[in-house]
Chains A and B, each alone.
Chain A
C-alpha cells in the first residue's frame, strides 16, 4: 500500500505542476513559435521516418541476455539453499551464453551494417 500511495503522489506531482503553471504563465501563442525547432531554419521533411537502426545486433543480444539476467537474479536469491549441481548448471549456462555473445560481437566487428 505504501508503494501504491507513492505512485499516486508521483503521478500527481508532474500533472499538478503542469496544470498549475497554466494560471501563472503567459500564453501568447504565435504560429511561428510552434514550428519545429531546427536552429532557425525551416525544417525540411518530417522527422518521423524509418530510422536507420545500426546497432540491431546489440539489440538482439540485449533481449537474449536480459532474460538471462532475470534468471540470474532469481538464482542469486536462493543461492544458499541450492545444491552444488544447480550452482554448477547456472555457471555453465552463463558460460554458454558468454560464448554466444563473443561470437556475436565477432560478427559485429566484421560486418558493421
Chain B
C-alpha cells in the first residue's frame, strides 16, 4: 500500500461518514432547499474532490514529517555543538527527553515577540523576501520521496513527480534571490553586504553542484527520484563517484549556508548578516527554514548518492531514508563546528579553481563508466 492509497482510504471513509449524515439531514429537512443537499453531497463524493483532498492529506503528512525532523535537527545541532564545545546544550525544558522541548519554547517565545519593520525599509520587498525564502524551501520537499511508496503521488500507481530532481534543485536554488531581496530592501549596510555575499556564494557553488548532479543523472539515466534511487540498488553512487560525492557535500554546505560557508550571515563580521532587521516570528521562521534546508540537503545527498531507501529489509524504507539523512546532517554539523569561516574571495576561488575542475573530472569519470557499460 502506498501513501496515495492510504490517504485515499482515509478520505473516502471520512467523506462517506459525513455524507451519510448529510443525506440523512436532507431527508429530514426536505422543505428547506430541495435538491441542495443532494448536490453538495454528490460534489463531496465526486472523484475530483476526493482526489484533491487525498493529495492535500499526502502533502500535510510530508510537511508534518519534515517539521518534526526540523525540531529534531535543531535539538541535535545544539546538543552536538554542546558536546563538541564541552557544554551541555539545552537540558532544562523537557528534562526527561534531553531538552527536546527547548525548540518549542523558543518558537513560542519568537511567536509572541514584537515585529518591527524599519522605517527606512522597502516594505514590499521586506515582507515578500521571507515568504519567498520559506515557501521555496518548503517546495523543494515536494518531490523528494521518503520511500518507494512514501512520496507525493498524484494517482494510485504511486509514481512520483517526473523530473523531480530538477524541481527539487530549482526550488532549492531560489534562496539566494530572496536573500538578495531581503538584503536590499532592509536598507541596512550589514544586510546589503550579506545579500551581495550570498550572490557571490551562489555563483561559486551552483555550477559544481549541478555538474555532480548531472553525473549522477547520467549514470541513472532518469530525472525522477525513484529512477535515480532504483539505479543504486546494487551499488551506491557514492562509491563510483566518490569525487563527486565530496564535491557535492562541500557545495551542499554552501547551499544550506552553514559554518565554513555561512558568509551571508557571518555573526562575527556582519551583525546577523541578512537577517539583521528581521525579528520575532520572521526571524524564527528564517531559523527554522535554515534547518529545513539542512534536512532537504541531507535528503538530496541520500537520494542521489547514498542509495536512498535501499537497505536491509529489517527496517522499513522511510526509516532507512531518514537514518541516512540524519547521518549526512551529523557529518555536516561536525564539519560546521570544526572549521573556520572562509573569506568571500576564498569561496570564489574554492568554487571556480578547486570544485569546478573536480566536478568536470567527475563528470568525465561518469561518462567513462557509462561508456564502458558498467552501469
Asked if A pairs with B, the answer is: yes
Chain B nearest CB from A87 CB (Å) reads 7
B188 to chain A: which residues have CB within 8 Å? 36-38, 43, 47
B:121-176 near A, CB below 8 Å:
121-122, 130-131, 134-136, 138-139, 141-143, 152-154, 161, 166-167
**Contact (Cβ within 8 A) B223 A77:** yes
**Contact (Cβ within 8 A) B135 A51:** no
> Is B322 close to A, CB under 8 A?
no
Of B52, B135, B188, B280, most A-chain CB atoms within 10 Å: B135
A76 to chain B: which residues have CB within 8 Å? 214-215, 217-218
The DSSP consensus for interface residues of chain B is helix
> Is A92 close to B, CB under 8 A?
no
How would residues 218 to 249 of chain B score, 1 for a CB under 8 Å from any chain A CB and 0 otherwise? 10011100000000000000000000000000
Q: Interface residues, chain A, CB within 8 Å of chain B? A: 1-3, 5-7, 9-11, 13-15, 17-18, 21, 24-29, 31, 33-39, 43, 46-48, 51, 53, 55, 58-59, 61-62, 65-66, 69, 72-73, 75-77, 79-80, 87, 91, 94, 98, 101, 105
Q: Interface residues, chain B, CB within 8 Å of chain A? A: 51-52, 55-56, 58-60, 62-63, 111-122, 130-131, 134-136, 138-139, 141-143, 152-154, 161, 166-167, 184, 186-192, 196, 200, 203-204, 206-207, 210-211, 213-215, 217-218, 221-223, 271, 276-277, 280-282, 285, 344-345, 348, 352-353, 356-357, 360, 363-364, 367, 370-371
Q: A5-B55, A34-B117 are in contact. List 11 more A-B contacts (CB 8 A).
A: A2-B153, A3-B142, A6-B141, A21-B281, A46-B187, A47-B187, A58-B203, A61-B352, A73-B213, A77-B223, A98-B357
